[in-house]
Structure 1
Amino acid sequence: MELSSYYPVICTDKVAESRDFYVERFGFEVTFEADWYVSLRRGAYELALLDHAHPTLPEAYRKRAAGVLLNFEVADVDAEWRRLVVDGGLKPELELRSEDFGQRHFIVADPTGVLIDVITNIEPTEEYAAQYA
């Protein structure tokens, strides 16, 4: 199979609120918009939002996204912590911290409850370094 594109689609009951969140907080641009679907892009990265009750989804799957975690790797997680949490007022679901497995990160949630893990990779401890390929 040859892929021409790949991107997550978040099923939500808050399409407009989620659009504003990703545009204002993470710099995405709207590339298509209907009241039930929004396509977003930031450089090479894409993300879409879909009204969870829309008939384009099989009826048994018309639910809000749950158990989803998006990783946003950034150059300076401390600067993003200040921008998004300290100055921006987002509630952290996980406070800024460094992990032995090689990440400094924090987690916030979008309006639907999708978690966003904002990460800067750091040196792992010796215990974890051996697990990297």
Structure 2
Amino acid sequence: MTNICSLQISESRDFYTKLFDFAIDYDSEWFVHLISKDKQLELGIIEMNSEIVPKDIRKEPTGTYITFVVDNVDEVFETAKKNKYEVIQSPENTFYGQRRMLLKDPNMYIIDISSPI
């Protein structure tokens, strides 16, 4: 399970459940646990200033990005536009055989969304 530190818990929850195959398993003011509908992937969203979060990482993310492989990146792109999420790069075909787009989540994480061509 990967945890994302957030100052916007509800916005982050909505971002990941609208764009990807996540259901809400647990929801509170300080932590949200998401699980894919096939129960193969888990994602936590935790309040950045929680005492549980190590002090050294209570800041805007740098040097990392999260990749999700989906069946159809263009469908995710349309959902992102409809919800007015920040698109950094519209879908385009890559030299390595994927169709790829980039978004920013509510916490400033770069989200790479790809589909095999």
Same fold (TM over 0.5): yes
Residues 32, 40 of structure 1: 8 Å contact kept? yes
Structure 1 match to 2:45: 49
1:108 Cα deviation after fit = 0.9
Question: How many residue pairs get matched?
Answer: 115
Structure 1 match to 2:28: 34
Residues 34, 44 of structure 2: 8 Å contact kept? yes
Q: What letter is aligned with 2:8?
A: K
Does 2:107 match 1:112? yes
Does 2:1 match 1:11? no
Structure 2 stretches lacking a partner, 5+ long: none
Per-residue Cα deviation, 1:24-63 (whole angstroms, up to 9, x for no partner): 2324211122211111111211100111111112333322
Query: Which structure is higher in strand share?
Result: 2
Greater mean alpha carbon deviation, residues 31-40 or residues 21-30: 21-30
1:81 Cα deviation after fit = 2.3
1:22 Cα deviation after fit = 1.3
Structure number with greater CO (CA < 8 Å, separation at least 6) is 2
In structure 2, distance between residues paired with 1:60 and 1:118: 28
1:77 Cα deviation after fit = 1.9
Does 2:45 match 1:23? no
TM-score by length of 2: 0.84
Aligned residues: CA RMSD: 1.8
